[in-house]
A and B are shown apart, each in its own frame.
Chain A
Amino acid sequence: MVSNVSNVSNGASDVRAVVAAIPDPEIPVVSIEDLGILRDVTVDGAGHVEVTITPTYSGCPAMEAIQADVHTALAAEGYGDAAVRMVLSPAWSTDWITAAGRRRLEEYGVAPPAPRADDGAVPLTLSVRCPQCGSPETRELSRFGSTACKALWACNCCGEPFDYFKPL
């Protein structure tokens, strides 16, 4: 993750911490930093804040909510004129989800994504571990789930359905 906190005026790391703590609107146990959606926070000499975010999926409807949440959080800290910039490149990948983010997803009941292969291929046949009981005996119900980023799975052992964060 890129961070320009080193070359800006004092207070930049505090600003970054405020933005980094903003929860994802659809999976509120993880922050936008955990998910790798937050790409950069800069504060220029005049105290103007610019936040750069990237969408998970092209059509992710949470992006507008995230932009609004960033504005609200920064306004509460006195940064009413912050700019939020959305970038598409480099394209977001589930490999950017932090270790803490993966742990929180699993505790919440969402199986974290399998790592992607270097050539971009998705190892779809890999077993997904049930976040409820930990069993590897699971099956895919639907490749597409409650949000663009998740698939619907079920556990053969405990019988519970669960969300799986799809590798992208």
Chain B
Amino acid sequence: MTAGPATPGSTDRVDLVAYTLRLGDDTLVFSQRLGEWIAASPQLEQDVAIGNIALDLLGQARALLSYAGAVEGRGRDEDVLAYFRDERDFTNVHLVEGASRGDFAITMARLLVFASYQHQLYGRLAGSSDETLAAIAAKAVKEVDYHRDHATQWVLRLGDGTQESHRRMQAALDAVWPDLDELFESDDLVRRLPGVAVDPADLEQPVRGYLRQVLDRATLTVPDVRPAVTGGRRGIHSEVMGFLLAEMQHLARSHPGAQW
């Protein structure tokens, strides 16, 4: 993939790389997680749908990682960044790395939260003063609109379905919700990139508002849970992250330089 011109202007190059990697790691890791459903979904249509959503996210990740590598200027391309960084170098949030344990409701809860977040994020990032980030976001926001709608339809169907589907959808939301707060954590990096980065704190109200509205319609309850320990943005991950990376990176590391 061709990255845009590396012209960070007055912005600190290192900060721009770090911020772009955060965005890219979120999409890459969630794409990998969603890919686990291919050939394992409850319906064939869901294999196709989740596969397509994962593909959109992978495309976004490729653009973001390629751009991070180009701005960094140390010769790291999208493949090097995806396959040859270790766990502590990944700065995705915990929400996207979490395992579904084969529970479709967990994946739909997570997709609802993440797509709602991305929808707000990309909508604002499309106005970034960084032209490449703005272009990636303007394209991605239209894709994420479909992802969010897909998750919304499923949460409505399961929440307002049978007693059993309602119980399981609520349990899934309860399991995912502790990871919600991390999405909205602001820090110095974001504050050092005014006009370029989107402050995650600004997304909290609209995202929570959308989620509350969907859950209300689905006869579900907004979980009242304690936030989980965070740290993804600093490279501190949950136990499942190592296993995810092992699966994602093993082929490329076993055959360095392989082409297909």
Q: Which residues of A contact B (CB under 8 A)?
A: 55, 57-61, 85-92, 120, 122, 124, 141-148, 152, 166, 168
Chain B, residues 10-22, CB within 8 Å of chain A (1/0): the string is: 0000000000000
Residue among B58, B146, B149, B150 making CB contact with A59, cutoff 8 Å: B58
A85-B2, A90-B138, A143-B150 are contacts. A61–B55 as well, Cβ < 8 Å?
yes
- Other A-B contacts than A142-B45, A146-B48, A147-B52, 15 sampled, CB-CB below 8 A, are A55-B59, A57-B55, A57-B56, A58-B56, A59-B59, A59-B60, A59-B62, A60-B59, A85-B2, A88-B63, A89-B131, A122-B145, A144-B146, A166-B146, A168-B143
Structural contact, B142 and A143, CB atoms closer than 8 A: no
Chain B, residues 125-155, CB within 8 Å of chain A (1/0): the string is: 0000001101110111011011001100100
Instruction: A119 to B147: give the CA distance in the assembly, Å.
Output: 19
* In the assembled complex, B38 has its CB within 8 A of some CB on chain A: no
Contacts of A144 in B (CB 8 A): 45, 48-49, 51-53, 146, 150
Highest count of chain B CB atoms <10 Å: which of A55, A86, A88, A142:
A88
Chain B, residues 216-233, CB within 8 Å of chain A (1/0): the string is: 000000000000000000
Q: Which residues of B contact A (CB under 8 A)?
A: 1-2, 4, 45, 48-49, 51-53, 55-60, 62-63, 131-132, 134-136, 138-140, 142-143, 145-146, 149-150, 153
A86-B2, A143-B49 are contacts. A58–B140 as well, Cβ < 8 Å?
yes
Contacts of A141 in B (CB 8 A): 45
Instruction: A147 to B153: give the CA distance in the assembly, Å.
Output: 20
Contacts of B58 in A (CB 8 A): 59
Structural contact, B146 and A91, CB atoms closer than 8 A: no
Residue among A86, A89, A122, A147 making CB contact with B138, cutoff 8 Å: A89
Contacts of B48 in A (CB 8 A): 142, 144-146, 152
Q: Which 7 pairs show the lowest CB-CB distances between chains A and B?
A: A59-B59, A58-B59, A89-B135, A144-B49, A142-B45, A59-B55, A91-B139
Instruction: A85 to B4: give the CA distance in the assembly, Å.
Output: 10
Contacts of B56 in A (CB 8 A): 57-59, 148
Instruction: A145 to B62: give the CA distance in the assembly, Å.
Output: 22
Residue among B2, B52, B62, B131 making CB contact with A148, cutoff 8 Å: B52
Closest beta carbon of chain A to B118's beta carbon, Å: 12
Q: Give A89's nearest chain B residue, CB to CB.
A: B135
Instruction: A145 to B47: give the CA distance in the assembly, Å.
Output: 10
Contacts of B135 in A (CB 8 A): 87-89, 91
Instruction: A122 to B62: give the CA distance in the assembly, Å.
Output: 26
Closest beta carbon of chain A to B78's beta carbon, Å: 12
Contacts of A92 in B (CB 8 A): 139
Closest beta carbon of chain A to B260's beta carbon, Å: 11
Instruction: A92 to B139: give the CA distance in the assembly, Å.
Output: 7
Q: Give B142's nearest chain A residue, CB to CB.
A: A168
Q: Give A60's nearest chain B residue, CB to CB.
A: B59
Q: Give B153's nearest chain A residue, CB to CB.
A: A143
17 contacts between A and B (CB under 8 A): A55-B59, A58-B62, A58-B139, A59-B58, A59-B60, A86-B2, A87-B135, A89-B131, A89-B138, A91-B139, A91-B142, A120-B142, A143-B49, A144-B51, A145-B48, A147-B52, A168-B143
